[in-house]
Amino acid sequence: MTRDEGRGRVALVTGAGSGIGLATAGVLAARGWRVVLADLNIAAARAAAETLGAEAVALDVTDAAATEAVFADVEARLGPLEALVANAGLIQPGDPPERLALEEFDRVIAVNLRGVYVSCVAAGRRMAARGRGGIVVTGSITASRTAPLHAYAPSKAAAVHMAACLAAEWGRSGVRVNAVSPGYVATPPVQAAIERGLRDPALLAEASALGRMVRPEEIGAAVAFLLSEDAAAITGINLPVDAGWLAGAHLATYGGLRPAR
């Protein structure tokens, strides 16, 4: 597709104040979408939106009534919403389950699963009524493999599966729903963990087939593809964008990933 593939159509990105959401908003804006950056941290969203020449709105995805009001307001001011990137999410401490507070578990599920569902329904019902639209849910490679993240990983697995369920529900109404599952990306939480000595960037890179971490804008490019006409026949999938982490993870039992030839 050309760089004007968005053609001024409206796209809303949740959790767009930083990290993958911000990078995705930037990619979409560069490709001609009229982007709305939605985030609980409205100051961060506004600062980013000003840089991108985009809109910013405050949004708590766990509040169904507020989410509905935000989507109604966006459409009233900007026109029909043609794309949603349901990206807002929380990470969690890597505590063992016996030390993971249930309040923390509930908080992660409320944002990463319920919040994604609330956002998808607010957008999807409008899109289905018009007979067109696209939704991309941010999953994770932890949706496909075990991880010591006993709220986050199950929440992402559920969100990925939910995207497939919604694709089957709304496909005949012209709405495509897909998921992207990022690998290890140098987002602020990951970078903070590296700086605190909790994660080793060399190990994160070594675990992938490409031998590196993923750049945030590479997730944005995958999202833009799934929302584009080039992906018009694609719905209900989960697209890993992980530098080959899933492909190479099992090779430890064969001596590790193969070196460059």
Residues taking part in catalysis: 152
**Closest by Cα among 93, 46, 56 to 189:** 93
Cα 175-181-110 angle, rounded to 5 deg: 80
**Closest by Cα among 223, 169, 170 to 12:** 223
Strands, sheet with 10-14, edge to edge from the N-terminal-most edge strand = 55-58, 34-39, 10-14, 81-86, 133-138, 175-182, 238-241
Residue 144: half-sphere exposure toward Cβ, Cα within 13 Å: 18
Copy the structure tokens of residue 261: 């030839």
Residue 8 CB burial class (10 angstroms; 0-12, 13-18, ≥19): exposed
What distance in Å separates the CA atoms of residue 67 and residue 74, rounded to the nearest whole number? 11
Residue 6 contacts residue 31 (beta carbons within 8 Å): yes
Torsion on CA atoms 133, 137, 141, 146, rounded to nearest 10: -130
Residues contacting residue 216 through CB under 8 Å, at least 6 positions apart: 19, 20, 22, 23, 24, 185, 186, 187
Residue type, 157: A
